[in-house]
Amino acid sequence: MMWCLKLLAVLPLGSYAARVRTNSTRGVGRVSHMFTWGAPHPTNPMLTTKEGGCFQGYRITNGDDDWLLDDEDIVPTLLTFTSYNHPDVQTLVVVPNGNGIYAKWACGKNPFRVTRASALLHMGDVYQENMAVLDSSYERAKVATRVGLKNSYVTSTSEIKANLRSEGWNLVGTASAGEDVSHLIQDPSSLRCILTFEGSDSFGDWVTDAQIIRKSFCGTMWAHRGFTDELRRMVGSSSWQTHVRPKLGKCSAVDAVGHSLGGAVATLFTGCVDWQNGSDDYNLMSWNTQRATRMSSL
């Protein structure tokens, strides 16, 4: 079950920043769209774009329209009465019936409501089923679900490639840090890429989720300590620096995605690369945009 919240011990930022390449030119790469499913609140204050606006994409949460009391994924509600905030992005509450949309909230809105928290609605399979109901006006989010969410926990390259075959996308980069994985997947036609971050699926992840102390992140914001350490652990790994980061600039666009803990990590990644502030965190994640290239499948 993946509904608790996460943290593992990591090296101090200064200790691993020296062993990865620093982007001294402050590359101009930015995340195009961010899609998260069942993500908890990651920052204080609310994370916005560098200009103070709304990120492109959706924060997606599962609901269930019941007769007496509606159900809602438990994880996006767990930190409601803390100082943490969801990011400045539109929210979709998706359900398995009708047109699939229970509610759509404007950027940065998280209205008060009375619902029954459900751990079952946090499951990735339920998100995939509910997203499949939506019409083609949400196609980018639907593709992110079928291509990104579906493969975000998978460690087997052959399994991912088999999953992608019907979608026509290619796995072009993959990295691991401990038991967690991050994948770069490209559409060979548009050359757009989806960058995935894995959610909670181990005891270590749940320990990380529970670390709710605030921590300085990306030189400009305060973020949940567990989520911050998880992102730093992944992007600071030699695997991510070697097999994923150098390929980001070859994408025509990069969409960052993640479920649960992975959604919080994708949010922090999106915010940090958007701010382009030259901080140690930014220099682990930044990339220079290049001519979009069709990359070879692994």
Per the domain annotation, does 263 fall within a domain?
yes
Closest CA to 261 of 1, 11, 2, 74: 2
Q: Is 81 within the bounds of a domain?
A: yes
Q: Which of 203, 213, 285, 283 is nearest to 31 (CA)?
A: 285
* pLDDT for 213: 83
Domain assignment of residue 144, yes or no: yes
Total domains in the chain come to: 1
| 24 assigned to some structural domain | no
* Per-residue model confidence (pLDDT) at position 68: 84
The per-residue pLDDT for 254 is 98
In the chain, where does DSSP find H-type helix? 13-17, 124-131, 139-143, 157-165, 203-209, 225-235, 238-243, 245-248, 261-275, 280-285
Question: Does 63 fall in a domain?
Answer: yes
Residue tagged 């990295």 (tokens): 175
Q: What is the pTM of this model?
A: 0.89
What are φ and ψ of residue 284, in 5° steps? Answer: -85, -20
Give the type of residue at 144: A
Q: Which of 80, 104, 76 has the alpha carbon at shortest distance from 90?
A: 104
What is the per-residue pLDDT for 8? 28
Q: Rounded CA gap, 177 and 169, in Å?
A: 24
Which pLDDT belongs to residue 66? 82
What's the CATH code of the domain at 109? 3.40.50
Q: Is-contact 87 47, C-beta < 8 A?
A: yes
Task: Note whether residue 6 is domain-resident.
Answer: no
In a domain, 111, yes or no: yes
Residue showing tokens 């007769």:
67
Domain assignment of residue 145, given as a range:
34-285
Q: Judge whether 191 lies within some domain.
A: yes
| pLDDT tens per residue across all 298 residues of the chain | 333 333 222 222 232 232 333 333 345 899 999 999 999 999 999 999 999 999 999 999 999 988 889 999 999 998 888 889 999 999 999 999 999 999 999 999 999 999 999 999 999 999 999 999 999 999 999 999 999 999 999 999 999 999 999 999 999 999 999 999 999 999 999 999 999 999 975 434 443 444 578 899 999 889 999 999 999 999 999 999 999 999 999 999 999 999 999 999 999 999 999 999 999 999 999 999 999 999 999 9
Residue 200 in contact with residue 261, Cβ under 8 Å?
Answer: yes
Q: What is the DSSP string of 15-58?
A: HHHTTS---TT------SEEEEESPPP-EES----TTS-PPSEE
pLDDT tens digits, 104-122: 999 999 999 999 999 999 9
Tens digits of per-residue pLDDT, 197-246?
999 754 344 434 445 788 999 998 899 999 999 999 999 999 999 999 99
